[in-house]
Each structure stands twice: as structure tokens, then as C-alpha cells.
Structure 1
Amino acid sequence: MEAFLEEAKALLAELVALPTVSAEGRALEEGAKKVAEVLEGLGLRAELKRGYGPPVVLAEGGVGERTLLFYNHYDVQPPDPLELWATDPFTLVEKEGAWYARGAHDDKGELVARVVALRLFQEKHGFLPRVRFVVEGEEEVGSPHLADFVRDHKEALGAEAILWEAGGVDARGRPYLYAGLKGIVALELRVKTAAFDLHSSYGAVVENPIYRLSKALASLRDEEGRVLVEGFYHRVRPLTPLEMEVLAEIPDESEALKEAFGVRDFLGGARNLEFNQRLYAEPCINFNGFHAGYGGPGSKTVLPAEAYAKLDVRLVPDQDPEEIPTLLRRHLEAHGFHDVEVVVLEKGERPARSDLAHPFVALARRALEEAFGEKAVLYPNMAGSGPMHPFLHHLGAPAVGLGVGYPGSRVHSPNEHIRIRDFERGVLALLRLLELYFLEG
């Protein structure tokens, strides 16, 4: 395994050296070509598919009657703020048993782990199993073109099971896997009450947009976080008995997270099953930021002309992100906020959840438990979002995520990293899954 770790480090160093920041359109062509080169080095046939934003890398090869599809992405978040990095974000640095760089975990480290696991399988069993890879370059900006790509290439992507992009261990070092992701839609609410900023003395007779918008925002949810928008919950798919059972088995980390986050309490005092159900299986509205008026030092007596707030809405099966803006507009108008504009910022992603009773879910869980020597934690879906829905919808195959990260990996933050021991154990779990899937069925 030592030789493979050195190979993994060298390969990861090459990948993270390319600043493939999709939000800025940087190095995406170079990144796609490098990923294709890496996959061709495994013996796969790789090609760049164009016409769907940055090139999508599609690769396939190997032998066998069953096919496993890997989903990954080669784009990364911007490295900012640069001053908070201890090292160059686009140079792989090993220190204190970890590899540091932008993309070291999300998602280049995960891609490298899969390449290494396939190499180990090939060396151990003498052949490459039948696999396919789809590696996109827009995940960090919401994968706006991926649904169309999957729809148009569903035959070329065909597989009996899908291995999603990431995973790892939880705060206590327990391996985990997940079978779905929440959906998301990002919005902005805007209100303008004057043509330009006014002297604050006019506050006696002119409506203040901060007051107006804050009242509108307050109408969207109650004190416990439950959404008050009419029709918001009507598409929510009821949890099955198995999904409820799996939620109940998730260890309660509410107290540990409360201390780690520095919060007084969770909404509604949620604990145990209620905490898990709200976090992983219920939708929510979150306010990202509120912007208006003067926020500099000292005082400026001004009545601002406009205010706006950014928010995201996390969705669960079977909610439709395209319906959410309409529901919000209706709600605001019904509550007298005709002047508040609803603007969609990004194309939304639909929620997705695989059938937890599918044999592949049990197989992935078994692989983790055999590699780690302890019970794996199964999440029906994660609290975050991603482009899983098109794959489940068009391919009709289950998707499961497992990987090589941990909660302190600082994904999307300065000093992103993965611990080498997590990488090694994650690779062994991937290898065991390949063996169970292709050799034992």
C-alpha cells in the first residue's frame, strides 16, 4: 500500500496544481484534459464531451457483466481568502499526516482514491472490472448543464449502480455512507422604496426598505424554523418505515455539534431522532445574507432606498425547485408584500434519494464495516445538495456516497486537507466494495 500512497500523492499534486475554479472559469479545459489522461492511464477509453458548459469527461472500460458508474467533478471552489491559507492553495503540501491544497478532498482527492482502488483491484485480481466515469467541471456552481448531459447520454452512462463523489468518517471516526442529497434553489428578495438614498429625517414619512424586507423575511418561517409558505410541504414524500428506522439508528451528535458550533440551542430544541429527521429529511429556508444602507464606522443618518436578502431553500423528495419561487411570490402577495421582488439566482437542483432496501446500499455498508472494523452510519440522504437526481431519474440505478474525508477537512475553506490515514482506509473500503460488487455479487 505504501507504493500506492506515493503514487496517489504524486497524482493528487498534479491535479491540485491546476486552479480549476469554475466560478471564475479558470483552467477548466486543462483540468478536463488532465482527468482524461489519468483515466486513460487506468486503461479506460476517455473523451471530452462538449456543449454542456466546461468539458465533461466520459470514460469507460474493463470487463464483466456488471457496470459501476463513478461520479466526480474536477472543479473547485475559489481559494479566497488567500491570507488565511498557511500554504499555497494550488501546491500539495504534506504536514502532520495530512495533504493540504484546494481540492485535496473536494473532489480531486476523492477521484484519486478511486483511481488507486481500481489499480489495487487490478494488481490483486489481474483484471480491470467494467467501470464508467463521468467527471464534470461545474459542480461548485450548481451543475447547470449536467441534467441535460445525463439525459442526452443515458445509454453511454448505463450502469447497475452509481458511486457518488464523496464521504468519509464522522466526528467520532465512524465510517459513513449516504444514499441521497437534498435539492436546492438559491433566491434573492429585493425591495426598493425610493429612487435614491434619502436623509434619515424622511423616515417620518417614507417607508424604510429594511423594515419592509425584514417583515417579509419574518413571514416565511416560524420561530422553530418551520416554513410558513402555503403549499411548501405539499409535495414532500412521506418517509418509509425503513427510512425512519435508518434515521433512528444515526448516532445523536446534537450535543457535540452544539458545542462545536457555539450555538445556544437548536431550533425547537431538537435532539436525537427529531434532530436527525429535521437535518436530513425535512426541507428548510435559510437566509444567507441581508444587505442595505450604511454599515461603516460611526454614524451616517441615511434612509436607504433599497434592501435585498439572499436565501437558499433546501428540498427533499419530491419537491420541485422550479415551483418554489412561484410559491414564495404567492405567499408575499397574500401577506401584502407586493413590492418585494423574488429573483432566482441559480438553476435549482432536485432532491434525490435511493431506495435504502436496494442490495447495493447494503453492499456498500458491508464494505465500509469490513474495511474499518466497526459499524458504518447510513444516512438516507445528506443535508447538503448535489446533482444526483438526473442519474437516479434517467439511469434507474441507486447511488451511494462514500469516501476519504472527515468533518475537519475544511471543504470550501482555506487550508482544505485530507488525513492520510482516512485516505488509506477509504481506499481499502473502495477496494472491498469493488470486490464485493464484481466478484461476489
Structure 2
Amino acid sequence: MFRDDDAEIKERLQFKSADKVGAFYQESLQYPSLNVRGLGAGWVGAEARTIVPASATAELDLRLVPESDGNRLKKLVKDFIRNQGFYITDTTPTKEERLKYDKIIMVTEGSVTNAFRTDLTNPYGSHIVNILKNKFADEVVQIRIMGGTVPIAPFVNELKVPAFLVPLVNPDNNQHSPNENLKIGQIAYGIQTLYALLSTPIEP
């Protein structure tokens, strides 16, 4: 498994200590995680107003690994919220509910996309690694599991077939951020990569 340079990550992202999940970043990806990806309430900065906002919203997502059950984890999150004294509803609270409960929260849930993982020693994976190593004359970074939501997981898990991701973007592409980018040179790199992968026969 590839091990990141933790000191370099801290320097680039400008933080002192990472969350203590795993000994290093790649190891931490082997565990499920809960991410607070958005918070919203009231107004700030030049738009600040002297009022109490009517509501506050939090967007959460749960990143899964093959060993985790997404529905069970969603239940655990709701159980935690309930244990903080909240009454949970899945619709806008009614007047009667607002008058009855001190703490109310509306929880709406998304669907579950299960994770998949292909063994690093899989022969098809070794085939890909050898092609890339020969094509670019450099070591190939292999990551046991990545952190993205990939909609092919149901097919992979149901058909029991190996699957591999070969990212073609520049490392600083800021994926999903407002300043997401793709350097022009990566397009040429991607063409070379895909041509090499598709034109090299698999050894029997």
C-alpha cells in the first residue's frame, strides 16, 4: 500500500494534526467516516442581521467501506441525535410538534451506495500496473480503496468481478470544489494512458 508523506500533506493543507483515524491517510481510508459537508443558518459578514434564524441546516454524508452496512450507520447517526434529546421527524415539523417538543430536527435520508474493494494482488490489477510502469517509466501508486462514490459498485458486488479506477487528473485538481480544474497536459496523458491500456493484450 502506498504511504503518503504526512508532513507534506500538513504543509500543503495547512493544519497541525489530522483526525486520529489510522496511522496515516491511506490507512484511514480503510474505515467508514462521517463527514459534515455543509452548514447553513442565518446571515454573516456584510449581510449579518440582528435576528435569530428560523432554522439551521447540516448536510452529512457517510463514506462506507465493504465491511460496513450503510443503513445500520444511518440508524446509528439518528440514534445519536435522538440521545441528545431531539425529536426526529422526516417532514417539516407541524405546529403541534413544535409546541410539544423542545428540540426538533427533521432528518431526510439519501440512498445507500455500497463500497467495493479489489485486492491489490489481482492479476488484472498487476496487468494495469505493469502497463503504466512500462509506459511512463515510473512507479505506479496503488491505493487499496478510494474515497469517492462510484455508481458501478452494485455491479461489481453483485457480479463478483474485479474493478479498478485509473484517475487521469492532475493531483491538485481540487475535485468537487468550486475551483475544480483539469490541466490541458492531463488530456494528452489520459489519451496515452487509455491507449496503452486498451491496446496491450492480457497475458494468459
TM-score normalised over the length of structure 1: 0.38
**Alignment match, 2:151:** 387
**Alignment match, 1:352:** 116
Q: Secondary structure at the match of 1:350?
A: coil
Q: CA deviation at 1:432?
A: 3.4
**Alignment match, 2:62:** 313
Matched, 1:263 2:15: yes
Identical residues among aligned pairs (%): 25
Matched, 1:334 2:114: no
Residue number among 384, 398, 417 corresponding to 2:182 in the alignment: 417
Note the 1:238-277 alignment, pairs <5 A: 246=1, 250-268=2-20, 273-277=23-27
Q: Give the Cα separation in 2 of the matches to 1:425 and 1:303.
A: 53
Which runs of 5 or more structure 1 residues have no equivalent in the other structure? 1-245
Larger radius of gyration: 1
Aligned length: 187
Note the 1:182-221 alignment, pairs <5 A: none
Question: Could you say what the CA RMSD is over the residues aligned between the two structures, in angstroms?
Answer: 2.6
Question: Aligned letter for 2:58?
Answer: A
Q: CA deviation at 1:312?
A: 1.3
Q: Give the Cα separation in 1 of the matches to 2:78 and 2:167.
A: 40
Q: CA deviation at 1:276?
A: 1.9
Contact 2:6 2:24 in 1 (8 A): no
> Which one has a larger percent strand, Structure 1 or Structure 2?
1
Q: Give the Cα separation in 2 of the matches to 1:313 and 1:415.
A: 22
Q: Give the Cα separation in 1 of the matches to 2:52 and 2:6.
A: 42
Question: Aligned letter for 1:290?
Answer: L
Which runs of 5 or more structure 2 residues have no equivalent in the other structure? 88-103
Matched, 1:343 2:92: no
Contact 1:328 1:342 in 2 (8 A): no
**Alignment match, 1:31:** none
Q: Secondary structure at the match of 1:326?
A: helix
Q: Secondary structure at the match of 1:281?
A: coil
Residue number among 286, 297, 302 corresponding to 2:35 in the alignment: 286
Q: CA deviation at 1:396?
A: 2.0
Question: Aligned letter for 2:106?
Answer: E
**Alignment match, 1:301:** 50
Contact 1:290 1:308 in 2 (8 A): yes
Q: Give the Cα separation in 2 of the matches to 1:424 and 1:411.
A: 19
**Alignment match, 2:94:** none
**Alignment match, 1:91:** none
Q: CA deviation at 1:370?
A: 0.7
Q: CA deviation at 1:362?
A: 0.9
TM-score normalised over the length of structure 2: 0.77
Deviates more, 1:377-386 or 1:254-263: 254-263
Note the 1:80-95 alignment, pairs <5 A: none
Q: Residues 290-341 of structure 1, C-alpha deviation per residue, up to 9 Å, x if partnerless?
A: 2223435376433333222111111111323333332222222233223333
Q: Give the Cα separation in 2 of the matches to 1:363 and 1:401.
A: 13
Q: Secondary structure at the match of 2:164?
A: strand
Q: Give the Cα separation in 2 of the matches to 1:291 and 1:323.
A: 27
Q: Secondary structure at the match of 1:408?
A: coil
Q: Residues 159-197 of structure 1, C-alpha deviation per residue, up to 9 Å, x if partnerless?
A: xxxxxxxxxxxxxxxxxxxxxxxxxxxxxxxxxxxxxxx
Note the 1:223-238 alignment, pairs <5 A: none
Q: Flag the 1:332–1:354 CA change in 2: closer, same or farther, 3 A.
A: same
